[in-house]
Amino acid sequence: MNVPREKAEFYASRFRCLAHPTRLLILHVLATEARPLSVGEIVDRVDVGQPTVSAHLRRLVEMGFVLVEHHGTSSLNWLNTCYIERFPAAAEFVMERAAGDLMSASINDPRRD
């Protein structure tokens, strides 16, 4: 399998994003709550300061793992389940097996389609 550099860089950026324990904790909280959460609710559950949680959420949003909806000065965050469900395709890619393509996964809220 000849892997284009663009695709390898795409997957590498997603793996790097998940390489931080606080980001994994945030994803776990959003997955187990199964509903949109405010930053304050996430802070309460991961026992990390608000600025740190906000910074990690921004990165998770940038990478497509989390969706956010802003309401004035507050925001609601939820797991992008469509994206997360396709993420194992990245591992398949690394192992050179045919699988669904994470790059083609929508990073939009599937509830709005």
DSSP string, 19-51: TSHHHHHHHHHHHHH-S-EEHHHHHHHHT--HH
Residues 25-84 pLDDT 10s: 999 999 999 899 999 999 999 989 999 999 999 999 999 999 999 989 889 999 998 887
Of residues 62 and 8, more confidence is placed in 62
Q: Give yes or no for residue 110 having a pLDDT over 70.
A: no
Q: Can you tell me the mean pLDDT for 99-112?
A: 49
pLDDT for residue 51: 96
pLDDT for residue 85: 80
**What secondary structure does DSSP assign to the chain, as a single string?**
----HHHHHHHHHHHHHTTSHHHHHHHHHHHHH-S-EEHHHHHHHHT--HHHHHHHHHHHHHHTSEEEEEETTEEEEEE-HHHHHHTHHHHHHHTT-----GGGS--S-GGG-
pLDDT for residue 49: 96
The domain spans of the chain are 5-97
CATH topology of domain 5-97: Arc Repressor Mutant, subunit A (1.10.10)
Reported confidence tier of residue 86, pLDDT bands at 50, 70, 90: confident
